[in-house]
Chains A and B, each alone.
Chain A
Amino acid sequence: MKKAIVITILVLFGALTAAPLVFLVCGSLMGSGELAEYLAPVLESTKGYARWRLFPLYPTLRNLVELCFDSPEFFQMFWNTMKITVGILAGQLVFGLPSAWGLARYPIPGKRFLYFLYILLMMLPFQVTMLSQYLVLNRLHLMDTTWAVIVPGVFSTFSVFLMYRFFCGIPEELLEAARIDGAGEWKIFWAIGVPLGSSGIFSALVLQFLECFSMMEQPLVFLQTKKLWPLSLYLPEIKEGQTGFALCCSLVALLPALCVFGMGQQYLELGITAAAVKE
């Protein structure tokens, strides 16, 4: 009996948090007529309240077809988002990964202070760094280009922090053994550090992917040209009266993030807890 209550509570809350996803899925399968009927109180201010049903009465793929064949701007923005996300992740692997290794495994003057600085930078919300980023981007004439969003993202210190945590957990004896065998320091990094720290690297990648994919503050401030906008700025622009289409766009827009989430859930959990528990 007690167990039944526990299970009910957990499943109920879980269903609530996942409900928006379900809503998007069935909304995208509904025809405009059906949607108009349920949502008339909101969209046309008729009497009563908006209703919903779990499964569409007349499921249709029309929204998806319209999205695929008749909305080039959607794909333009979709690729913008991908470009930003992949650019940032790749940059972090090139610059952040060795940084984390160096910080974790070698004596470096002022290391404690550096580590503090990295944590501080990772914690600062965009409001605080907005002006400073703008000042640099403006001076480098990068404003209103995709680089304005990518480059500061590459040098965000969050992923360095995460990978640092995992690199610290590699036993020093392994590195010493490799040194005795005559391996160079970069060789050790590639052959021991990267493989053994891979769960940290994946955690950082998964968390950063989700973060970049829904990034909004930066493009909102740094990109004026609509052609460069990511999806997160395009979706709210879809006009009313295209409810089904808008829902379909919203759904397709989150699919990549959902895939990464599905494949990387364990790394996501690892990454979250890395900030809280000393391993």
Chain B
Amino acid sequence: MRRSKWTGLSFLLPGFCGVAVFSLLPFMDVIRRSFVQAVSGRFCGLENYRIVLHNRAFLLAVKNALRFLLVCLPLLLGISLVLAFLLHAWQMAFHQKLRLLKAAYLVPMAIPAASLVLLWKLMFDKHGFVNGILHLCGIHAVDWMNTGAAFFVLVFSYIWKNLGYTMVLWLAGLCSISPDLYEAAEMDGAGRMTQFFKITLPLIRPLIFTIVVLSFLNSFKVFREAYLVAGNYPQEDMYLLQHLFNNWFTDLSVDKMAAGSVLLALVITVFVLLLQKLWETNE
């Protein structure tokens, strides 16, 4: 038939050529450069990697990223799961779509980080809203932007931005569970808690990893808020990989950037491989 592999390729190729020219080939070049000295262009083995891995700023950025993930992921997943569960229960009980409520949770996705600069500054200033509220509760004011507390500004921004997104993901999982299961459990006298731990959690478990990976990848975008409120050289606990890469870029440290990119790409490849494996076992 006419349906040879060329038909498929004729659809794919225009786009694929663009991807190849703008992503794949240059990335090969980056891999090559990561083994080469920037100035002389001579092969230098793993020297660039050694320099990057001993770079104080790189280690700081990685440490911050890990700390950020360890704090944020459990918080985000926990809060969003509880909210999604409640929302789902409400939907089931009253047969309402709750579009407006969902919109309220999702609206942070539509607010560009830049529109928030001023609000964030007003909130986290020494005399800002957050400290005002803390003061009312009788808690001492915190200098958010210039102490270790800056870290929590990031955590807050991230959770605020991703709460709705993650909730929608959980909701998809919750909606896929048949109501009959709960009914049957209720007949057998299982309480709400038992139902949650014995039915809901096991059934949405495959989703957990997907959400972790997606949240992990979204976490790189928190740089926007950090950059907007604190600029190129923020308080140390807020110093992220993107800051580092931007500063390397300004100094034109191509060798360091290349090695850093390759390292980061490797980590992410592992995550994506795991994710894909998971998708396939779900089919």
Do A220 and B8 have beta carbons less than 8 Å apart?
no
- List residues of chain A with CB under 8 Å of any chain B CB: 3, 6-7, 9-11, 13-15, 17-18, 20-21, 23-24, 39, 41-42, 45-46, 48-52, 94-96, 98-99, 101-103, 105-109, 114, 116-121, 123-136, 151-152, 154-155, 157, 160, 179, 185, 189, 210, 213-214, 216-217, 220-221, 231-236, 243, 246-247, 250-251, 253-254, 257-258, 260-262, 265, 268-269, 272-273, 275-278
Q: Which of A109, A120, A217 contacts B5 (CB 8 A)?
A: A109
B18-52 interface code vs A (CB 8 A; 1 in, 0 out): 11011111110110010000000000000000000
Smallest CB-CB A-B distances: 6 pairs = A106-B8, A102-B11, A49-B132, A99-B15, A214-B112, A132-B26
Do A257 and B111 have beta carbons less than 8 Å apart?
yes
| A128-B268 contact, Cβ under 8 Å, with A24-B115, A136-B26, A221-B249 | yes
Pick from B23, B33, B106, B117 the residue with the most CB of A within 10 Å. Answer: B23
- Tell me the smallest distance from the CB of B156 to a CB of chain A, in Å: 11
Do B268 and A261 have beta carbons less than 8 Å apart?
no
List of A residues within 8 angstroms of B239 by Cβ: none
Q: Which of A231, A269, A272 contacts B114 (CB 8 A)?
A: A231
Task: For the A-B complex with A103-B12, A127-B242, A185-B7 known, give 13 more contacts whose Cβ atoms are closer than 8 Å.
Answer: A17-B160, A20-B116, A102-B8, A106-B8, A114-B16, A119-B275, A121-B19, A132-B23, A214-B114, A250-B116, A258-B111, A265-B99, A276-B169
List of B residues within 8 angstroms of A117 by Cβ: 24
Do B111 and A125 have beta carbons less than 8 Å apart?
no
Q: Once bound together, how far apart are the Cα atoms of A117 and B23, in whole Å?
A: 11
- Tell me the smallest distance from the CB of B272 to a CB of chain A, in Å: 5
Chain A residue at smallest Cβ distance from B16: A99
Do A50 and B283 have beta carbons less than 8 Å apart?
no
Give residues 232-278 of B contacting A (CB, 8 Å).
Answer: 241-242, 245-246, 249, 254, 257-258, 260-261, 264-265, 268-269, 271-272, 275-276
- Tell me the smallest distance from the CB of A45 to a CB of chain B, in Å: 7
7 A-B contacts (beta carbon < 8 Å): A48-B127, A49-B132, A95-B15, A125-B242, A128-B261, A261-B103, A272-B168
| A7-B117 contact, Cβ under 8 Å, with A106-B5, A117-B24, A275-B210 | no
Q: Which of A3, A50, A217, A247 contacts B125 (CB 8 A)?
A: A50
Q: Which of B11, B29, B223 contacts A217 (CB 8 A)?
A: B223
Q: Which of B10, B18, B26, B271 contacts A123 (CB 8 A)?
A: B271
Do B111 and A254 have beta carbons less than 8 Å apart?
yes
Do A135 and B257 have beta carbons less than 8 Å apart?
no
Spot the interface stretch: B67-75, B86-94, B147-155, B180-188.
B86-94
Pick from B15, B116, B168, B223 the residue with the most CB of A within 10 Å. Answer: B15
Q: Which of A49, A126, A154, A254 contacts B131 (CB 8 A)?
A: A49
List of B residues within 8 angstroms of A251 by Cβ: 115
- Tell me the smallest distance from the CB of B19 to a CB of chain A, in Å: 5
Q: Which of B19, B22, B207, B276 contacts A276 (CB 8 A)?
A: B207
Q: How many inter-chain residue pairs (CB < 8 Å) link A and B? A: 296
Do B22 and A136 have beta carbons less than 8 Å apart?
yes
Q: Once bound together, how far apart are the Cα atoms of A276 and B242, in whole Å?
A: 27
- Tell me the smallest distance from the CB of B58 to a CB of chain A, in Å: 12
- Tell me the smallest distance from the CB of B165 to a CB of chain A, in Å: 6
| A18-B104 contact, Cβ under 8 Å, with A121-B19, A128-B268, A152-B22 | yes
Q: Once bound together, how far apart are the Cα atoms of A121 and B2, in whole Å?
A: 32
List of A residues within 8 angstroms of B93 by Cβ: 3
Chain B residue at smallest Cβ distance from A109: B5
Chain B residue at smallest Cβ distance from A98: B11
| A50-B128 contact, Cβ under 8 Å, with A117-B24, A123-B271 | yes
Chain A residue at smallest Cβ distance from B133: A49
Do B264 and A102 have beta carbons less than 8 Å apart?
no
Q: Once bound together, how far apart are the Cα atoms of A98 and B207, in whole Å?
A: 30
Q: Does B220 contact A (CB under 8 A)?
A: yes
Do A265 and B103 have beta carbons less than 8 Å apart?
yes
Chain A residue at smallest Cβ distance from B82: A9
Q: Which of A125, A253, A272 contacts B112 (CB 8 A)?
A: A253
Pick from A9, A15, A127, A216 the residue with the most CB of B within 10 Å. Answer: A127
Q: Which of B22, B105, B115, B117 contacts A151 (CB 8 A)?
A: B22
| A17-B110 contact, Cβ under 8 Å, with A108-B5, A135-B30, A278-B282 | no
List of A residues within 8 angstroms of B116 by Cβ: 20, 250
Do A253 and B114 have beta carbons less than 8 Å apart?
yes
Q: Which of B12, B14, B102 contacts A108 (CB 8 A)?
A: B12
Do A269 and B30 have beta carbons less than 8 Å apart?
no
Q: Once bound together, how far apart are the Cα atoms of A68 and B102, in whole Å?
A: 33
Do B5 and A107 have beta carbons less than 8 Å apart?
yes
Q: Which of B3, B11, B112, B172 contacts A277 (CB 8 A)?
A: B172
Q: Once bound together, how far apart are the Cα atoms of A126 and B16, in whole Å?
A: 19
Do A257 and B86 have beta carbons less than 8 Å apart?
no
Q: Once bound together, how far apart are the Cα atoms of A9 and B83, in whole Å?
A: 8
- Tell me the smallest distance from the CB of B248 to a CB of chain A, in Å: 9
List of A residues within 8 angstroms of B128 by Cβ: 41-42, 49-50
